[in-house]
Structure 1
Amino acid sequence: MEARAEVERGQLPLWMPVALGTGIAAWFLLPGQGAWVAFLLLALSVALGGMVLPWGMRTARVVAWAGMLAMLGCALVWWRAERVAAPVLARPVVVAFVGRVERVEPLPAREAVRLTLLPDAGAGLPPRLRVNLSEKDMVAGVVPGARISLRARLMPPPTAAVPGAYDFARAAWFRRLGATGRGFAPVRVVTPGNPGNAALRDRLTDHILSRIDGSTGGIAAAFVTGDRGAIAEEDAEAMRRSGLAHLLSISGLHVTAVVVATMTVVLKLLALFPPLALRIRLPVVAAAAGAGAALFYTWLSGADVPTVRSCIAALLVLAALSLGREAITLRMIATGALLVLLVLPESLAGPSFQLSFAAVTAIVALHEHPRVRRWFLARDEGYGRKMARSLGSLLLTGVAVEAALMPIGLYHFHTAGLYGALANIVAIPLTTFVTMPLEALALLLDVAGLGAPAWWLVERSLALLLWVAHVVASAPGSVAALPAMPDGAFALMVLGGLWIALWRTTWRRWGVVPLAAGVLWALATPAPDLLVTGDGRHLALATDDGGMAILRDRAGEYVRSTLGEGGGVLGALPPLSDQPGARCSPDLCVARRQAGGRVWTILATRSGYAVPWAELIAACARADIVVSERRLPEECRSRWLKLDRAMLARTGGVAVTLSTGRITTVRGGGQHPWETPETIAPPRPPYRERRNGRNGGASDAAR
């Protein structure tokens, strides 16, 4: 081991963010305080074990540092979760209140505006909440800093609907959001505010949308301000399925384009003055200008986490260039990851962090490989061979990136694009060398009112981008779907990928073992036969043709997509009432499913109306599984599993695999802060308002 560590000594620092991330991941995966303390003691014992070894050995220092960093990661994210603690709304409520506007996010494609509000201290509400307003209910003067009064239907941040789905409650906890909901007219501005940089962002977004309509205008605005609200959902879905969704988030590609453009312009302008060019180092000055442009672009786009991460990486690259060092290296990526995890440790659990660092690590590791570097080294050859070599490099890079991102996409979203490498061969050069320069030129020409021709070219280039996205997304077999992946399988794939990417000698090949084991584990995990949402209103049952049928015919698109992704199913979910072997009335539905060598009977309620007592008790006795959004009587006893409101309040969403009898729940009795938050009881409206607003509240919720 000491000989191996000596050979790989240049690669050992790359594992520092991995060790730190191991501690952070352990805190998210382990259930509660006892397990967290046990992990801290285990990591401490590993660190002390390294110190017991002779300190002159490189292996001893590696073991000691790994233990200390893992312990630091677990303690850091634990401290961070406690530091951002804020009360959460205890139950849904319709309430009128006054609050200060913190952020305004237009969503033109949904004809809505999203507001982040800080209610007044006497409102009896959480300190920060988020509401969506219809565009027609918005009034002038609703800008950051303004105090407004409105009426809204609020609810606690929802947990994952089913196992493996997106857990908004966890994300909301670290954003200090205590409630979400929908606001209603009338909205009144009590005190005007000062929008600051948001006014510039909004004006710039509105200006771009006034030049280009529809989703192409929304993509153009996303490139400049990061505002994606004007992109239609079908176009956004096509971008995701084609592997081009990364272009819509301001990250490394966009920040790099801004920095390179700024440095090029500054270098060319300063080179026109020989006295300056002979006396100062122009690349250093250009790098400083590029750093300023990166910081300004990050501020302008709202300083979201992916943009901040990309800005940090750009500043590190510029610093390396100024010092005359090689800039794009795995050490630079490791430094950026370490800085982000130290400041925002919770970002490790999000797909944004994982996708961005996995992509850039795969690119750099691939091109640092000696054989790949020899393949694509610049040569004195004809233009055709140079072009073929460049296209081969781009294609190989795309394939490596897709291979690195596919496990992450399948783990978080249960789908992954298969043709993303081919789509990116066209999309990345088009975006980097055509669309973004043309858009910058159009904005510059608009100062003199001459930008119309440039905007037409921008629109044509974005129409081509959307065409590529739709063609790739609709191609046969363009998307792979997989049901919820076990955490252990994903961890093995991540470990195998890191082992292959971060080592240089031949023992990197051993990373194939955990990688293949994780892939086989994920593929061998059977899809659930039954998915039940945490409120008990919706369920999806596997069908004989490999699809899933949904209980309520009028379920919303979000519910349908969540249940389909959880079951690893693409396409529409047919009604359960249309399936053979299912008998449904407006109030009850009985379905049968053959699995594990027997036939299972599932009973589910479909409405809130009362069912005759004797019939309900008899139906429960004949069913193996009973599902209901209401609290069922004690006498309703199924033969195997009863999932009513009381049970689902403890378990959250449930996934059942009938062939193995495995039951997976969203809530596993964990003690994470968002699972057991401090709640704040919402204020009760006056009796007159409650009496007059009962039907109105139901109507608002339905709307």
Structure 2
Amino acid sequence: MTASWPVPINFPDVPAWIGREFAIDVAQRRLFPWIAVSFGLGIVLFFQAEEPALWAPLVCFVLSLMAAWFARRSLPALALLIGLAALSAGFAAGVVRTRSVAGPVLTRITIAAVSGFVETVEDRGQDRRILLRLVSLQGMAASDLPKFVRVNARKGEGLAPGQFIEAKARLLPPPQPAWPGGYDFARDARFREVGAVGSLLGAPKIIAPPQGTPWFLAVTAGIDAARNALTQRIASAIGGPAGGVSAALVTGKRGLIGEPTNDVLRAAGIYHIVSISGLHMVLAAGTFFWLIRAFLALFPIVALRWPVKKIAAVAAMFGATAYGLFTGSDVATERSLIMTLVMFGAVLADRPALSIRNLSVSALLVLAREPEALLGPSFQMSFGAVAALTAFAPLLTLKPSQGQPVTALGRALHWSFHQIWGLFATTLIASLATAPFSAYHFQTINPYGLIGNALALPLVSVVVMPAAVLGVLTYPFGLDRPIWQVMGLAVNQVLDVSAWVGSFSGATMVMPALSILAFGFLSAALLILTVPASSFRWLAVLPIGAGLATAAPIRYDVFIDREAAGAAIRDASGTLTVVGKPSAFVTEQWLRADGDGRNADDGGLRRQARCDRSGCVVEGPEQRSIAFVQDVSAFEEDCRRAVVILTRLKAPTRCEAGLVLDRDALASRGATVLRFRDRDTIEVRSVRKGSEVIALRRASTDDAAATILPNRPMEKRPVPEQDLPDEEISSDERD
């Protein structure tokens, strides 16, 4: 017997396989969704650019379309060129949107008299949050005025939308992230044209406006006043925590929900029910659709001669739009409304309502109007969940068995099993699809969210939202109180379920912040899983593997806020120790980024710091001393022994520490994190300057020594408590 070597290996014909699968996607019309993906990629590129010109993406857009016209006979080339055109359009949309909202922003803390129109008022229990359209700010020219400011008023009784007020206010610039990669309130404020935040000092004075109230302000003020009245009506009819949650479900006003209730809902993984988004919009529009269709079906002459389904779809579109306007037209609400209108529009065109193509149209409309939405968790989680549910819809329903039950009990059990399976599969798919976004933005995972949603959502779908629609319809007649009370009973059950699920051990798992690279891979995996109809879906295993391989988080050794009011330093035990007086919000942001589940008021956060009136010293791993200086008297000693100096003061000229982050350094960097790469180098990452690697030279004392700073006079100023507006302390924006 003879053997030939090498043995021939038959490799699969990859080009032929690609051609077959590409033809399947073309037949299933799955190329169109990639236009929305390319549009979004263009937006991502825009946010990486520095002051781009508008003409550049427009020229690229036009050239791509021209090239696509000449290459129209080649489908692959045509698809690539249309994708490039969509990418250019997304980039241009970012430029246009940024320029359209550009306006003055406060640059320093200011205490001055202000006057303006009250746009919205939200009752938050002990105080009121006000959106004020500025007319004047003492000492500031009209051209430098921010368009809106958001302030809290502790003495805001009697304030109502549309009023013109004068008051003394303490205003601050919108705060930047607490750490590089954290929640960016300043970016969100810029796109909402909010140029300052703060609080009113004393009671505001309601006066007549210098000019008449603008008509658009009168309309929005009237809507907000109606929202506030209905919020109080619902809360008073139900009472307790359920009253605040029920009011938020109907009007979008979440100020009456206490933080303990928020924590309970988050632990159970169902906090999304109190944000007017896709779930509420679909349930509200679906209720309108079902009611109108059922009513028209009662009249045979109408049902047989008129397109009842399309009439009900139009009524649902009007009802959903009215619901969106009444609940404040928040960003998440507007996105959900656009998705809902596209779905019912597909019904009018005799197309499937729920499809990847319709979802892509919705995404394009949303991103063209608000490109910044792509960066937020609300857009990512809502569209990610819907895309996954649409793509894996066959898994939501079981195939009918050959032998159907004969008895009524058997049929009831069969129906119940199918409903339970559908609810379980829906919740599981949505949870898996949104897990990367939750881990990246919030550093938390709720492993029992599957149980919480499975138990709570049936109550919300069957009782709470239909009662909300019926309550709003009967509210003008004064017959709504019993309906709100029924709604309150169901919401109480939801809160009880949430408390039970939240009591499980490990209900909320805090994990270190996911790296941007891993987040990008996992996001790409979700797109590859959901967009193609062909076997291209199996290629998702590659970015999934890459995402898991790069998911190991980077844990920073030092967090310091933008004003050096406080810091979190990794001690010898490997956990963070807090020094100074950072706010509770900032402290918890640092802890979550490190995967630390402790709260800001945990007594163990400061035990490893040696502090006196002059500052604090924390001994980190490998006997590195990190000093937090609050008084100039500490510089002489700390500069000799510390590897890193953190201070709100100006550092002296001959400080021998390896790295000095003082007032001037932080003013140029913003919030900063440090990571010791080895004994001689340290990575410095900041909000404004990005990532830097600094080499630490060794001094004769065998400590690290820094580059000598310019000669500056020393000053004596203790570190005050961190200056933060209440907006940053609140978690509403992040949820």
TM-score range, shorter chain: 0.7 to 0.9
Aligned to 1:67: 84
**Cα deviation, residue 86, structure 1:** 0.2
**Cα deviation, residue 423, structure 1:** 0.9
Is residue 103–residue 117 contact of structure 1 (8 Å, CA) maintained in 2? Answer: no
Amino acid at match of 2:232: D
Is residue 287–residue 469 contact of structure 2 (8 Å, CA) maintained in 1? Answer: no
Is residue 630–residue 644 contact of structure 1 (8 Å, CA) maintained in 2? Answer: yes
Aligned to 2:662: 644
In 2 relative to 1, CA 535–379 (structure 1 residues): closer, same or farther, beyond 3 Å? Answer: farther
Is residue 563–residue 722 contact of structure 2 (8 Å, CA) maintained in 1? Answer: no
**Cα deviation, residue 265, structure 1:** 2.2
Name stretches of at least 5 consecutive residues in structure 2 with no aligned partner. 1-17, 406-410, 692-719, 727-735
**Cα deviation, residue 478, structure 1:** 2.1
Aligned to 1:104: 121
**Cα deviation, residue 498, structure 1:** 0.5
**Cα deviation, residue 503, structure 1:** 1.3
Q: Distance in 1 between matches of 2:676 and 2:483?
A: 59
Q: Distance in 2 between matches of 1:570 and 1:698?
A: 23
In 2 relative to 1, CA 638–40 (structure 1 residues): closer, same or farther, beyond 3 Å? Answer: farther
**Cα deviation, residue 358, structure 1:** 0.8
In 2 relative to 1, CA 545–393 (structure 1 residues): closer, same or farther, beyond 3 Å? Answer: farther
Whether 2:565 is the aligned partner of 1:537: answer yes
Aligned to 1:11: 30
Aligned to 1:684: none
Aligned to 2:489: 460
Is residue 33–residue 360 contact of structure 2 (8 Å, CA) maintained in 1? Answer: yes
Aligned to 1:486: 515
In 2 relative to 1, CA 377–68 (structure 1 residues): closer, same or farther, beyond 3 Å? Answer: farther
**Cα deviation, residue 546, structure 1:** 5.2
In 2 relative to 1, CA 483–665 (structure 1 residues): closer, same or farther, beyond 3 Å? Answer: farther
**Cα deviation, residue 636, structure 1:** 2.5
Whether 2:578 is the aligned partner of 1:557: answer no
Aligned to 1:187: 204
Is residue 577–residue 583 contact of structure 1 (8 Å, CA) maintained in 2? Answer: no
Aligned to 2:338: 312
**Cα deviation, residue 170, structure 1:** 0.8
Alignment of 1:234-273 (within 5 A): 234-273=260-299
In 2 relative to 1, CA 180–379 (structure 1 residues): closer, same or farther, beyond 3 Å? Answer: farther
1:423 to 437, 448, 452: 452
Is residue 627–residue 643 contact of structure 1 (8 Å, CA) maintained in 2? Answer: yes
Whether 2:624 is the aligned partner of 1:628: answer no
Is residue 6–residue 58 contact of structure 1 (8 Å, CA) maintained in 2? Answer: no
In 2 relative to 1, CA 448–27 (structure 1 residues): closer, same or farther, beyond 3 Å? Answer: closer
1:569 to 578, 596, 601: 596
**Cα deviation, residue 646, structure 1:** 0.7
**Cα deviation, residue 17, structure 1:** 0.9
Is residue 284–residue 469 contact of structure 2 (8 Å, CA) maintained in 1? Answer: no
Aligned to 2:612: 585
In 2 relative to 1, CA 79–376 (structure 1 residues): closer, same or farther, beyond 3 Å? Answer: farther
In 2 relative to 1, CA 49–242 (structure 1 residues): closer, same or farther, beyond 3 Å? Answer: farther
Aligned to 2:100: 83
In 2 relative to 1, CA 99–616 (structure 1 residues): closer, same or farther, beyond 3 Å? Answer: same
Q: Distance in 2 between matches of 1:61 and 1:322?
A: 30
Is residue 281–residue 337 contact of structure 2 (8 Å, CA) maintained in 1? Answer: yes
1:120 to 121, 133, 136: 136
SS of the aligned residue for 1:178 comes to: strand
Q: Distance in 1 between matches of 2:423 and 2:121?
A: 39
Aligned to 1:518: 547
Aligned to 2:624: 600
Q: Distance in 2 between matches of 1:378 and 1:450?
A: 49
Aligned to 2:710: none
Is residue 100–residue 119 contact of structure 1 (8 Å, CA) maintained in 2? Answer: yes
Q: 1:271-310 CA distances to partner (integer Å, 9 max, x unpaired)?
A: 3334333332222222221111111101111111211121
Is residue 328–residue 364 contact of structure 1 (8 Å, CA) maintained in 2? Answer: yes
Is residue 44–residue 67 contact of structure 1 (8 Å, CA) maintained in 2? Answer: no
Q: 1:582-636 CA distances to partner (integer Å, 9 max, x unpaired)?
A: 4211221111111xxx32110002x4xx432xx5123112110111122222223
Q: 1:214-242 CA distances to partner (integer Å, 9 max, x unpaired)?
A: 32111111111111110011211222232
Q: Distance in 2 between matches of 1:70 and 1:189?
A: 49
Q: Distance in 2 between matches of 1:197 and 1:243?
A: 31
**Cα deviation, residue 460, structure 1:** 2.4
Q: 1:37-81 CA distances to partner (integer Å, 9 max, x unpaired)?
A: 9988998998788778x5312111110011111111112101211
In 2 relative to 1, CA 627–44 (structure 1 residues): closer, same or farther, beyond 3 Å? Answer: farther
Q: Distance in 2 between matches of 1:647 and 1:542?
A: 21
Amino acid at match of 2:565: R
Q: Distance in 2 between matches of 1:405 and 1:547?
A: 29
**Cα deviation, residue 27, structure 1:** 1.4
SS of the aligned residue for 1:179 comes to: strand
Is residue 650–residue 662 contact of structure 2 (8 Å, CA) maintained in 1? Answer: yes
What TM-score do you get using the length of structure 2 for normalisation?
Answer: 0.83
Which is worse superposed, 467-476 or 66-75? 467-476
Q: Distance in 1 between matches of 2:119 and 2:169?
A: 17
Amino acid at match of 2:362: G
Whether 2:40 is the aligned partner of 1:21: answer yes
2:255 to 213, 229, 235: 229
Q: Distance in 1 between matches of 2:269 and 2:313?
A: 32
**Cα deviation, residue 148, structure 1:** 0.6
SS of the aligned residue for 2:624 comes to: strand
Aligned to 2:311: 285
Is residue 376–residue 389 contact of structure 1 (8 Å, CA) maintained in 2? Answer: no
Q: Distance in 2 between matches of 1:376 and 1:191?
A: 69
SS of the aligned residue for 1:118 comes to: strand
Q: Distance in 1 between matches of 2:422 and 2:247?
A: 30
Alpha-carbon RMSD: 3.0
Alignment of 1:104-503 (within 5 A): 104-108=121-125, 110-120=126-136, 123-124=140-141, 126-135=145-154, 137-140=155-158, 142-191=159-208, 194=218, 195-367=221-393, 369=394, 375=399, 380-381=404-405, 382-442=411-471, 451-503=480-532
Which is worse superposed, 536-545 or 645-654? 536-545
Structure with max Cα Rg: 2
Is residue 500–residue 512 contact of structure 1 (8 Å, CA) maintained in 2? Answer: no
In 2 relative to 1, CA 345–379 (structure 1 residues): closer, same or farther, beyond 3 Å? Answer: farther
Which is worse superposed, 184-193 or 582-591? 184-193
**Cα deviation, residue 183, structure 1:** 0.7
Q: 1:250-285 CA distances to partner (integer Å, 9 max, x unpaired)?
A: 112212222222222222333333433333222222
Q: 1:154-192 CA distances to partner (integer Å, 9 max, x unpaired)?
A: 011111011221111111111111111111223111127
Name stretches of at least 5 consecutive residues in structure 1 with no aligned partner. 671-696
Q: 1:450-482 CA distances to partner (integer Å, 9 max, x unpaired)?
A: 555444332222122122223323322222323
Q: Distance in 2 between matches of 1:171 and 1:316?
A: 26
SS of the aligned residue for 1:468 comes to: helix
Number of equivalent positions: 658
Which protein, 1 or 2, shows the higher relative CO under an 8 Å CA cutoff with sep ≥ 6? Answer: 1
Is residue 532–residue 538 contact of structure 1 (8 Å, CA) maintained in 2? Answer: yes
Is residue 121–residue 128 contact of structure 2 (8 Å, CA) maintained in 1? Answer: no
Amino acid at match of 1:302: G
Whether 2:85 is the aligned partner of 1:57: answer no
**Cα deviation, residue 439, structure 1:** 3.9
In 2 relative to 1, CA 702–525 (structure 1 residues): closer, same or farther, beyond 3 Å? Answer: closer
Is residue 163–residue 484 contact of structure 1 (8 Å, CA) maintained in 2? Answer: no
1:93 to 82, 93, 110: 110
Q: Distance in 2 between matches of 1:517 and 1:143?
A: 53
Q: Distance in 2 between matches of 1:306 and 1:429?
A: 22
What TM-score do you get using the length of structure 1 for normalisation?
Answer: 0.87
